Amino acid sequence: MAAGRSVSSASYTAAISATVNNTLTDASAASVSISGTYKKTLKDGNEVDQITRAWQSVGRKLASAATEVIDLNTMSNLDIGAGAGKDGLGQDLAFEEIVAILIVQSGPATAAGRLEIEPDSSNGWNPIGTHTVANTGALRLNGGLLKFQPHESGFDVSSTSKRIKFTANGGAIEYDIYVLGRTDDDVSSSSSSSSSSSSSSSSSVSSSSSSSSSSSSNSSSSSSSSSSSSNSSSSSSSSSSSSTLSSSSSSTLSSSSSSSNSSSSSSSS
């Protein structure tokens, strides 16, 4: 492990809310609200509710019918600017456990294509699940998929279960991906608060949209969207009551982390 490597300010949040309204015959209104927020703050380390790795890549482009495979174990085919298989600080990235992963079909604004996400046919990473046009699980514009597993085992990544395939079906698309995880060889070197001498790099996502989206996940999935709808209906039959249904809902996916290396160089571990 590289001296001084640590991760701080890591968390993920999933939230949803809606209000259902009903207008009665005397014009009075009744409403009921639902809301749920799940947030987990993560510390530096390899135990439950801890991570040692953080990575993101925003605006990844796929031409229509094109595919891309991401190898979570080595990340060797990916370079976000600090070297293949490196994080934003140039440190070795390899994941052995995934704690949280967020994928959003983010554009372009006129995108008609859908993003398919599935285990690759070679050493596929099964925890991601299969989300394709064929099974109606592919992500349209602003659709998102969030899975998290803060248990000390996380979602396992191994030499035979590590590759995710992304396909643009029906048109060119762009997507963003954010990953928080661990490498078993690491030993926690600090608490979640960073040292004043550390250089830091941070990544965050907070996405929302007023367009509707479709998402599916066998563990937890969410769409970075917020929608409001109202339906007002009146019956001309024996009942003279009027009913109004108005619901507003929002789903927010956020994941943020900061990684630092207090050594003077940005060499990889």
Mean confidence (pLDDT) of the chain: 77
Token pair, residue 135, equals 């099974």
Residue 259, pLDDT above cutoff 60:
no
In this predicted structure, which of 52-66, 145-159, 223-237 has the lowest mean pLDDT? 223-237
Q: What angle do CA 122, 55, 214 make, to 5 degrees?
A: 70
pLDDT of residue 260: 54
pLDDT of residue 267: 37
Number of neighbours of residue 184 by Cβ within 10 angstroms: 11
Closest CA to 205 of 7, 12, 52: 12
Closest CA to 177 of 128, 105, 82: 105
Q: How far apart are CA 22 and CA 28, in angstroms?
A: 9
Residue 232, pLDDT above cutoff 70:
no
pTM above 0.85, yes or no: no
| Mean pLDDT for the stretch of residues 31-39 | 96
Token pair, residue 22, equals 């009903």
pLDDT of residue 74: 87
pLDDT of residue 196: 35
Residue 249, pLDDT above cutoff 60:
no
Asked if omega into 108 is within 30° of 0 (cis), the reply is yes
> What one-letter code names the amino acid at 215?
S
pLDDT of residue 184: 75
pLDDT of residue 53: 94
Q: How far apart are CA 169 and CA 1, in angstroms?
A: 41
CB 97 within 8 A of CB 73: no
Provide the phi-psi class of 265: left if phi over 0, else alpha when psi is between -120 and 50, else beta: beta
Q: Report the SS3 class of residue 165.
A: strand
**Distance in angstroms between the alpha carbons of the first and the last residue of the chain:** 5
pLDDT of residue 138: 98
| Mean pLDDT for the stretch of residues 234-260 | 41
Q: How far apart are CA 104 and CA 229, in angstroms?
A: 23
| Mean pLDDT for the stretch of residues 225-252 | 38
> What one-letter code names the amino acid at 216?
S
